[in-house]
Structure 1
Amino acid sequence: MATVLALVDLLAPAGGSAARVGATAGSTDPAPRSTDAAAPTTTAPTTTPTAAAEGDAGPAEVPGAPAAGTYVEQGAGSVSVVPGTSAVYGTGPLQRFVVEVEDGIGVDGVTFAAAVEATLGDPRSWGSGGRMSFQRVDGTDPGAYEFRVSLVNPGSMERYCPGVGTGGYTSCRYGERAVINLARWETAVPDYQGDVATYRQYVVNHEVGHALGNGHQSCPGAGQVAPVMQQQTLGLDGCAKNAWPYP
């Protein structure tokens, strides 16, 4: 009898909890909109995006000690859409974006979404001079948005940016997502000398710049302003830090 029961246990389906429903990270097919009060939740990528991934590959050695700060090294792995929408910032062709925060990292999604909105809505950002406009949305139906801005912990970077080689240190753009590394969001990088606020503006503009189709640029010369698409996370190369596409 004991042997029979053991065989039944081995053959029985594993687990009893329901799987989360949502699009996979990096997929171009967004998750259907949630029909209840909870924010839509998505999981780590299982498919390869049609566009090549872009990002700052992690350094062989971390370039000095980052500023002091505390953050969660490993969250739940899934991300939830921050509910709410914004006004349209700027004029020109509309770029709608969704803001997501990884579950279990202790970050207030509303505060993070407000920071992303303020950055993309600034006249020095990508919409400068009527080039484009931005609006935050929370609908994830197909065609409801152009890109996502996702905040994830260092331990999830390789899951959301597979093959980029962030080393858990840098941020990246993968598929429709501009993925912000929580460690960099909280502590910035040594070359920013503790100026976390400016670095946050830079990393949002940089990764969203990739989502808009912009590639990396180099420092134009010692003492000059760094282009926002320069890999400032890995060093300024003699340039002055800069968070804006059109400073």
Structure 2
Amino acid sequence: MGKRAAPAGRRGTQSRRRARGRRGPVRRLALPVLVLMTLALGGGAALAHFNGRTADDAAAPAPEPTPVTEAPTTDAPTPRPTTAKPKPKATTAKPKPKPKPTPKKTTVPQSGAGTFTTAQASGDAVGTGGSLRRYRVQVEDGIELSAHGAAAEIQQILAHPRSWAAHGRGRFQLVSQNADFVIRIATPDTADALCARQGLNTHGELNCETADGVVVNLKRWMLGSPTFAGEAAEYRHLIINHEVGHEIGIRQHMGCPGPGKPAPAMMQQIKGLNGCRSNAFPYDEDGSYITGPIVS
């Protein structure tokens, strides 16, 4: 007996079930295809989180990563970046300039004992011509000036290449006794008294020539002259050259030879220069005698 054909309604139902059965596997294959398409389009990042996997576990090739340089791994925590404060530049401290020492003020006693100490010194004669003139040096007692030191300085003054001895105007020799003339250095009051014996008024300021030699005012020896453009040590050359000039026979004083010219050693420069330049020597550097008009 042949099988009965299924009713039309039942056949329709079975046909739909078979149709659903064939479509089922199609739905299950859809997700893998979608993943592969996503990877192909550069969606590796989505697959990295799919089912807990990393990008390196994916079966599909991932895009080549940009090469980076990895920093060395340390156990220490990475410090937070901080803004470095600029370090102060090292500077070398400039030494403070030392204050210039205040020059010691030279004080000159107005008067002294009135007695003198003779320098116990002697030397060879200096000079190349003329008669020999022996001299001794005395310094008033009680003042801060060495007789020996003063004698040595006067000896150097007379031997200077611009002085009298170097130009045939006389020969001079330092001795301690049997002198032809004496050079005394005295306080202003004592100098005034010695000069007054010759009828000269030195006003406590000036030097003079006496019958037995030269009197040098200690004030001028130590301080120089307010009209002289030079140190006191240079002015001492003028004192000796002027007074010894009288000793060798130059009796008269000279005046200024002209504005801007050097004053003669035989000019009383302390009384004014009258346009001349102060000068301590009888001769200039070329050996020419510095002269001027006779005034007294």
The question of a shared fold, defined as TM-score above 0.5 by the shorter chain, is answered with yes
> 2: distance between equivalents of 1:233 and 1:146?
28
**Identity value in percent:** 39
Quick check: 1:176–1:211 contact (8 Å CA) kept in 2?
A: no
Q: 1:145 Cα deviation (Å)?
A: 2.2
1:185 maps onto 2:221 in alignment: yes
Quick check: 1:178–1:210 contact (8 Å CA) kept in 2?
A: no
Runs (4+) off by over 4 Å: none
Match of 1:170 in 2: 206
**2:185 partner amino acid:** L
Q: Which has the higher contact order (CA 8 A, sep 6+)?
A: 1
Question: Does residue 1:80 correspond to 2:114, yes or no?
Answer: no
Q: Deviations over 1:102-137 (max 9, x none)?
A: 111121111111111011111211113333211100
Q: Deviations over 1:125-153 (max 9, x none)?
A: 111333321110011xxxx3221111000
CA offsets per residue over residues 18-44 of structure 1, 9 Å max, x none? xxxxxxxxxxxxxxxxxxxxxxxxxxx
Following TM superposition, by how much is the alpha carbon of 1:194 offset from its aligned partner in structure 2, in angstroms?
Answer: 5.2
Of 254, 266, 270, the residue aligned with 1:233 is 270
Does 1:196 pair with 2:242?
Answer: no
Shift of 1:193: 4.1
Cα distance in 2 for partners of 1:190, 1:234 equals 10
SS in 1 for 2:227: helix
Q: CA deviation at 1:226?
A: 0.4
Match of 2:7 in 1: none
**More helix, by proportion:** 2
Residues 73 and 154 in structure 1, CA contact (< 8 A), matched pair in contact too:
yes
Q: In the alignment, which residue of structure 1 is the partner of 2:173? A: 135
Q: Which protein shows a greater Rg? A: 2
CA contact (8 A) 2:128 2:168 kept: yes
Decide whether the 8 Å contact of 2:118 with 2:138 is kept in 1. Answer: yes
SS of the residue aligned with 1:225? coil
Deviation at 1:80, TM superposition (A): 2.0
Equivalent-residue separation in structure 2 for 1:224 and 1:193 (angstroms): 14
Q: Does 1:112 align with 2:150?
A: yes
Aligned counterparts, 1:1-247, within 5 A: 69-92=106-129, 93-139=131-177, 144-162=178-196, 163-193=199-229, 195-214=231-250, 215-247=252-284
Unaligned runs of 5+ in 1: 1-67
Question: Are 1:225 and 1:240, in contact at CA under 8 Å, matched by a contact in 2?
Answer: yes
Native 8 Å contact 2:133 2:170 kept in 1: yes
What amino acid is the match of 2:244? V
CA distance in 2, matches of 1:212, 1:160: 21
Check whether the contact 1:221–1:238 (CA below 8 A) recurs between aligned residues. Answer: yes
For residue 237 of structure 2, what is the amino acid of its counterpart? Q
Distance in 2 of aligned mates of 1:154 and 1:193: 22
Note if contact 2:135-2:173 (Cα within 8 Å) is conserved in structure 1. yes
Provide closer, same or farther for how the CA distance between residues 129 and 212 of structure 1 changes in structure 2, counting only shifts above 3 A.
Answer: closer
1:128–1:246 contact (8 Å) kept in structure 2: no
| RMSD between superposed Cα atoms in Å | 1.6
Q: Verify the 8 A CA contact 2:163 2:282 in the aligned structure 1.
A: yes
Return the offset for 1:69. Answer: 2.5
Query: What TM-score do the two structures reach when normalised by structure 2?
Result: 0.57
Q: Which amino acid aligns with 1:138?
A: S
Distance of 2:272 and 2:224 partners within structure 1: 12
With the length of structure 1 as denominator, give the TM-score of the two structures.
Answer: 0.68
